[in-house]
Amino acid sequence: MKRRRKKRKLTIKNFALVAIFLYFLVTTIIYIRRDRPKIYEVKSGNLVKDQSFSGIILRDESVVNAENGGFVNYYVQDGKRVRVGTKVCSVDTNGEMAKYIADNKKPQEGLSEDVYRTIKRQLESFTLRYADNNFSEVYNTKYLLNLRLSEALDYNQIPDLENIIKVHNIQYKDIPSDTPGVVSLTMDSMIGKKVDDIVADDFVQANNRSIQRISGNEVKSGEPLYKLVKSDPWSIVFPLTEAQTKAYQNVQSVDVYIKSQGIEEVVPLRLMTGSDGKSYGVLSFSDYMVEMIDERYVDFEIKGSDQAGLKVPKSAIVEQEYYVIGSDYLTRPENETNRGVQKQIATQGDAQWQFIPLDRTMLVKDEEGNSFYYFHLPSDGSLSEGDTIKQDNGQTMQISEKKTLKGVYRINKGYVEFIRVNIQSEDDAYEIVTPKEGGLEEYDHILLDASKYKEGEIIHD
């Protein structure tokens, strides 16, 4: 009997040891295999990056329309300056002039170096701009090449054109320029637009209707013959993201590079808000108008400056939505440890007020220096959107306004804490941020995969 009892005690003891071993084994496996938070230590750094943009070119330009229908013949090359009274083109009613030019055109031995350079530049520009979703660019480039070849092969082949017109009794109407400027035979639906008129839809190239003219085209009365640019200054308007707007808000000039034309120039920059409420940049040029005269849309780069600050991975940036109240609505009675608001709990008779504590509040100042508190509604449902709260002086408001802030999740204290940041610049992987007062500091620990966590969550490393 004693041996059996002893054997039974050993069996229970062995079972308990095995159970304890299995418990620790399972716990260890779970600990090893669990999804541990990815933590990043904040460090100072900088970004130097050329920013790429697409913009719209605006000029002081107007269109000259045909008074009579017929076939148009041009005497001034695209991109050439004219004075008042210069004959730009003529319109003949039956096409006899175009027929004569075609019948009497002499073969030319070759093209000039200027023409070769122009054609090469236009082909390079087309290569840079071409995309599958913008096939119309093929036709635009084809037109410009035909125009350059037509100019090179036609106009210098008939030295006494005016005398020939008289001899052959060709009926035509001269179109002289009534304003000095530069002639362009490329026209579109954006002529006459001002900088302040630009909205987001204007950047959709398919929305812009364009036409190009060459000698021999038939035109109807009232249709455009040519465009005249009256002055050299021109502008590029381009859209900006929120981060780019902040990065350029104190910048007065930038180094711009237009690769298609090999143009690099330091030009003035100003920011504006369009009529659609979006942010835009405006670059002002005083040179190179003739080189860009046939372009409406342009791709360019702004050479980067060395932007320094706290360097934070993009995955660590998170957005938080908060309710917003004026700073005077937050109060703390003598017997309370937390600050909170006075909530109305009765609407009939004398109003009754109940103090509702708020766990976490954030003081934020706007650009005018006004103070507001940002907060989350308590999880116990004691405060809801639409509730009425009051200041100490009796003024009331309803909880309704919400705003979104950008920041990071700091975990220095062992739990997730939202820290607001101001984004200065960015590249594909990082943001350069500046902390708000009492905010993020170098060597703070933040969560890399911020989207997986919530504010207030306990972090187990």
Instruction: Looking at the structure, tell me whether residues 256 and 229 fall in a common domain.
Output: yes
Does the pLDDT at position 282 exceed 60?
Answer: yes
Q: Is residue 382 domain-resident? A: yes
| The domain boundary residue, chosen from 253, 279, 305 | 305
Q: What is the pLDDT of residue 84?
A: 95
Query: What count of residues does the chain have?
Result: 461
pLDDT, mean over the chain:
82
Q: Calculate the alpha carbon distances from 219 to 3, 88, 435 in Å.
A: 119, 15, 63
Q: How confident is the model at residue 230 (pLDDT cuts 50, 70, 90)?
A: very high
Question: Whole-angstrom Cα distance, residue 222 to residue 17?
Answer: 100
Q: Which residues fall within 8 angstroms of residue 283, CB to CB, at 6 or more apart?
A: 55, 235, 236, 238, 254, 256, 267, 268, 269
pLDDT digits (tens, 9 = 90+) for 22-79: 777 776 665 555 567 888 999 988 877 788 999 999 999 999 999 989 988 888 888 8
Q: Is residue 26 domain-resident? A: no
pLDDT digits (tens, 9 = 90+) for 330-381: 988 888 888 899 999 876 667 788 899 998 888 888 877 888 989 989 888 8
| The domain boundary residue, chosen from 283, 305, 327 | 305
180 or 23, which is more confident: 180
Calculate Rg over the CA atoms of the chain: 36
Q: Kind and range of the H or E element at 410?
A: strand 402-410
Query: What are phi and psi for residue 31, nearest 5 degrees?
Result: -65, -40
Instruction: Looking at the structure, tell me whether residues 366 and 440 fall in a common domain.
Output: yes
Q: Per-residue pLDDT averaged across 385-390, rounded? A: 92
Does the pLDDT at position 225 exceed 90?
Answer: yes
Instruction: Looking at the structure, tell me whether residues 204 and 325 fall in a common domain.
Output: no
Instruction: Looking at the structure, tell me whether residues 276 and 380 fall in a common domain.
Output: no
Structure token digits, residue 412? 């220095």
Q: Is residue 412 domain-resident? A: yes
Question: Whole-angstrom Cα distance, residue 345 to residue 244?
Answer: 46
Instruction: Looking at the structure, tell me whether residues 269 and 194 fall in a common domain.
Output: yes
Q: What is the pLDDT of residue 428?
A: 80
CA 232: distance to chain centroid? 27
Instruction: Looking at the structure, tell me whether residues 92 and 239 fall in a common domain.
Output: yes
388 or 131, which is more confident: 388
Q: Is residue 72 domain-resident? A: yes
Phi-psi region of 216 (alpha: psi -120 to 50; beta: other; left: phi over 0): left
Q: Is residue 233 domain-resident? A: yes
Q: What is the pLDDT of residue 38?
A: 85
Instruction: Looking at the structure, tell me whether residues 74 and 175 fall in a common domain.
Output: yes
Which segments within 185-334 are labelled E, that is strand? Answer: 186-188, 210-212, 218-219, 224-239, 253-258, 263-273, 279-285, 297-302, 307-313, 318-326
Which segments within 109-223 are labelled E, that is strand? Answer: 173-176, 181-184, 186-188, 210-212, 218-219
Instruction: Looking at the structure, tell me whether residues 134 and 266 fall in a common domain.
Output: yes
Instruction: Looking at the structure, tell me whether residues 380 and 440 fall in a common domain.
Output: yes
432 or 63, which is more confident: 63
Instruction: Looking at the structure, tell me whether residues 204 and 321 fall in a common domain.
Output: no
In which domain, by residue range, is 59 found?
52-305
Structure token digits, residue 127? 């290569």
Q: What is the pLDDT of residue 162?
A: 64
Instruction: Looking at the structure, tell me whether residues 410 and 346 fall in a common domain.
Output: yes
Q: Calculate the alpha carbon distances from 374 to 160, 292, 320, 321, 344 in Å.
A: 80, 49, 10, 9, 20
Question: Whole-angstrom Cα distance, residue 425 to residue 308?
Answer: 9
Q: Is residue 209 domain-resident? A: yes
Instruction: Looking at the structure, tell me whether residues 129 and 253 fall in a common domain.
Output: yes
Q: What is the pLDDT of residue 152?
A: 47
Q: What is the pLDDT of residue 394?
A: 85
Does the pLDDT at position 168 exceed 80?
Answer: no
Beta-sheet strand order (sheet of 388-390): 353-357, 340-344, 388-390, 396-398
Q: What is the pLDDT of residue 115?
A: 53
Could you tell me if 40 and 440 are in contact, meaning their C-beta atoms sit under 8 angstroms apart?
no
Q: What is the pLDDT of residue 45?
A: 86
Largest Cα–Cα distance of the chain, in whole Å?
143
**Which range (59-63, 211-215, 230-234, 400-404) has the least confidence?**
211-215
pLDDT digits (tens, 9 = 90+) for 241-255: 988 898 898 899 999
Number of domains in the chain: 2
Residue 399, Cβ density class (10 Å: 0-12 exposed, 13-18 middle, ≥19 buried): buried
pLDDT digits (tens, 9 = 90+) for 100-158: 766 765 555 455 555 556 555 555 555 555 554 454 455 555 545 555 555 544 444 45
Does the pLDDT at position 411 exceed 80?
Answer: yes
Q: Is residue 8 domain-resident? A: no
Which residue(s) pair with 45 in the sheet? 309
| The domain boundary residue, chosen from 242, 272, 305 | 305
Q: What is the pLDDT of residue 165?
A: 64
Q: Is residue 368 domain-resident? A: yes
Q: What is the pLDDT of residue 200?
A: 95
Q: What is the pLDDT of residue 146?
A: 56
Q: What is the pLDDT of residue 155?
A: 44
Q: What is the pLDDT of residue 135?
A: 47
Q: Kind and range of the H or E element at 372?
A: strand 371-375
Q: Kind and range of the H or E element at 177?
A: none
